Amino acid sequence: MATGRGAGLLRPPASSGRATFLELFFDLAFVVALTRVTQRFVDLSDDTGWALVAGLGRTLLLFLALWLIWSHTVWITSRYEPERSIIQAVVVGTMFAGLVMAVTLPRALEERALPFAAAYLVVMVVRPLVVAAALRGHPRRLVPFRLAAWAAASAPLWLAGALGPDALRLPLWAAALAVDYLAWALGWPVPRLGASAVHRWRIAGTHLADRHQQMFLVSLGETILVISMVFGGTDYSPVRAAAFGVAFATSALLWRIYFHRAGLLLPEALGRAGMPGRLGTVSERAHLLIVLGVLVTAVGYELVIDHPFGPPRPGLLLFVVGGPVLFLVARTLLEYEIFGRVSESRVIGLAALLLFTPALARWAPMVGLSVVAGVLALVALLDALLSRGRPLEPSASSVAREESASGDRDSEA
C-alpha cells in the first residue's frame, strides 16, 4: 500500500495499547457532560405519560450526540498515533467542543441550541478535514473526507433545528442524528470512492478496549458523585444513610459484574482479533448501552436518597429498575461476543428484576432499590460460584472467528 508523507501519523504495530494522559484528561469534559445528562433525567422524575416519553427522547438525543463525539475520538486515537502533535491538537480541540456541549446541554433544546449545535458540527466537519490534511498523500486520507462529507450533509438539519422554531428542533435534530449514525453504520459511502466500513479499519484493539473500559469507570464514577452530593446536600437521617449505603453497594456490584471474566478479557479479545475493528464495533454498541444503563441507575439513586420511604411512584421504577435491566442486557451482549455464550446468572438476574417490577410499583422507593441490590448481589454470587476453581477461559469471540475465516481487508484500512 502506498504510504505517502502522512504514514507517520498511523499507529505503529508496537504502539502502546494504554490510553495517554491527554486522553484521560479529555474524559474530564465528558464527566461534566454525563453529570448534565443525569440531571436532565432527574428533572423528568415527576413527569408521567407523554411528557415523560418526550423528555426521555430529548435527553437520549443529547446523550447520543455526546456519545458520537466521544466514540469517534476514541476510534481516531486507536487508529492514529496519539503522541503526534496534530492528533493531540485534535483531542484538545474536541475536548473544548465537548465542554461547550456539556455546559449548554441543560438548555440545549431551548435558548442554547445554537452553541450546542455549532460545537457538535465543528467536531464532525472540521476535525476530519484536519486529519485528512495531516495525512497528506496517504490513501487513508479518503476516510476522513468521507466523514466530513456526510457531516456536512446533515449540518443543515442541525442548523435549521438550532435557528428555526422551537417546535421543529427535536424532529430536525433527531433526523440529523439518525443521518450521522446511519453514515457510521454504512461506512460513509460516497460516489466513486464507495464506503469504508469501520469494522475493516486497522486499529489498536487493546487501546479501543481500554478506552471503553475507562468510559464505563467514568460513568460509574458519576454514580458515586451523585450519591455523595445528594446525601451530603440533604438533612441527615438513618433512612437516608441506609439508602446511601445501598446505592453504593449497587455501584460496587455493577463494577463487579462488568469486570467478571468477559469485561476483564475485552482487551485480550480485541488484541488477538485479526481485524479488531469488527469486534470493536460490537463493543462500542454494547458500551453505549452499558453507560446509559449506569447513568439511568444513578438517577434512581438520587430519587431514592431524597425520599427513601416516599409514596410509591411507578415512574420511578424506570430509573431504579430500568437502569440495572439495561446494564445487564448490554453486559450479556458483551459476554456473548467475547465467549459466544450467555451465563445463567445474567438470565436469572434479568428474570428476577422483571418478575419483581410489578410488585415494586406498590412499595416505597427504598424497597425497590434494596431488591435491585439483592438481585445484583445474587448475580455476582452466582458468577463467583460458577467460576470458582476454573481457570480464566480464553476469548471465543464469534466475530473474531468470522473475520479470521473471511480474511476481509480494506485497501484504505
CATH of domain 205-405: 1.20.1410
SS (H, E, C) 265-321: HHHHHHHHCCCHHHHHHHHHHHHHHHHHHHHHHHHHHHHHHHCCCCCCCHHHHHHHC
What tens digit of pLDDT does each residue of 77-113 get? 988 988 889 999 999 999 999 999 999 999 999 999 9
Split at pLDDT 50, 70, 90, the class of 140 is confident
C-beta neighbour count of 357 within 10 angstroms: 18
Q: How far apart are CA 376 and CA 107, in angstroms?
A: 35
Q: How far apart are CA 225 and CA 56, in angstroms?
A: 22
| Three cell numbers, residue 113 | 441550541
Q: How far apart are CA 271 and CA 17, in angstroms?
A: 9
Residue 163 is which amino acid? Answer: L
Split at pLDDT 50, 70, 90, the class of 409 is very low
Check residue 19 and report its DSSP letter. P
Check residue 363 and report its DSSP letter. S
Residue identified by cell 471465543 is 396
What tens digit of pLDDT does each residue of 308-340 get? 998 888 778 899 999 999 999 999 998 888 877
SS (H, E, C) 81-106: CCCCHHHHHHHHHHHHHHHHHHHHHH
Return the beta strands (E) in 61-180 as ranges: none
Check residue 5 and report its DSSP letter. G
Give helix then strand counts, H and E, for the chain: 16, 0
CA trace torsion 336, 339, 344, 350 (10° rounding): -30
Mean pLDDT of the chain: 87
Q: What is the pTM of this model?
A: 0.91
Average pLDDT in the 221-239 region? 88
251, 305 Cβ separation under 8 angstroms: no
pLDDT tops 80 at residue 71: yes
Residue 334, CA atoms < 13 Å, CB-side half-sphere:
34
Q: What pLDDT is recorded for position 314?
A: 76
Which segments of the chain belong to CATH 1.20.1410?
A: 205-405
Is residue 33 classed exposed, middle or buried when 0-12, 13-18 and 19+ CB atoms within 10 A define those classes?
buried
Average pLDDT in the 105-125 region? 95
| Percent of the chain surpassing pLDDT 70 | 90
E strand or H helix that includes residue 347: helix 344-360
